[in-house]
Amino acid sequence: MSTIIRPAITLFVVLTAITGLAYPLVVTGAAKAIFPDQAAGSLIEKNGKVVGSSLIGQSFSGPTYFWSRPSATGPQPNNGLASGGSNLGPTNPALKDAVKARIDTVRAAHPDQTGPVPTDLVTASASGLDPHISPAAAAYQVHRVAKARGLTDETVRQLVDANTARPQWGLFGESVVNVLQLNLALDDAGSKVKA
């Protein structure tokens, strides 16, 4: 019996050391060396303090900031521990009511806009954590933010353009605006009105 148990225990210990210790340490070390920002959670710091992550959305509701996509996570918005969509189908009356209420809120905050409300301002992403909006959603909000901050529309438009990520190699993905980074750039640009 010991001829069977001893090799089994030895194999168990060796494989545990390889797959439970050595492999994770090598992969973590390689990730930190090759992709240090991503391995650390893509954290964004301002004045030495972590203010968020470039990969997880944050809710902004004041007139001096660009608004993010709605979040479907609960019990609080943009909860990384509860990532997921609302699971409401397109014909569900609850989804229609929620989107209609969001459209009304967006329209009330942007009385100068007569065109359609960009979809990403009234619908949550599949993860409920998307930190990006489309350039069209950012452009929709430019006048409101500029007016609230005492800046010109052109100044705010330039900040949006400077914080727009283009498709990778001009081919993969779509242009997106990271809302947290844009709002931090707004704060850095200064304003006549305190946010």
My answer on whether 29 and 107 are in the same domain is no
Q: What is the pLDDT of the chain when averaged over all its residues?
A: 87
| Single pTM value for the model | 0.75
My answer on whether 19 and 96 are in the same domain is no
pLDDT at residue 167 is higher than 80: yes
My answer on whether 21 and 97 are in the same domain is no
d(CA 32, CA 35) in angstroms, rounded, equals 5
My answer on whether 140 and 169 are in the same domain is yes
My answer on whether 99 and 146 are in the same domain is yes
My answer on whether 66 and 29 are in the same domain is no
pLDDT at residue 193 is higher than 60: no
The count of structural domains within the chain is: 2
My answer on whether 123 and 63 are in the same domain is yes
My answer on whether 164 and 110 are in the same domain is yes
Among the ranges given (17-26, 67-76, 80-89, 102-111), the one the predictor scored with the smallest mean pLDDT: 80-89
The domain in which residue 19 lies consists of 1-40
Q: Residue 194's pLDDT band (boundaries 50, 70, 90)?
A: very low
Assess if residue 195 is contained within a domain: no
pLDDT at residue 31 is higher than 80: yes
My answer on whether 109 and 154 are in the same domain is yes
DSSP class per residue in 155-178 = HHHHHHHHTEEPPBTTTBS--EEE
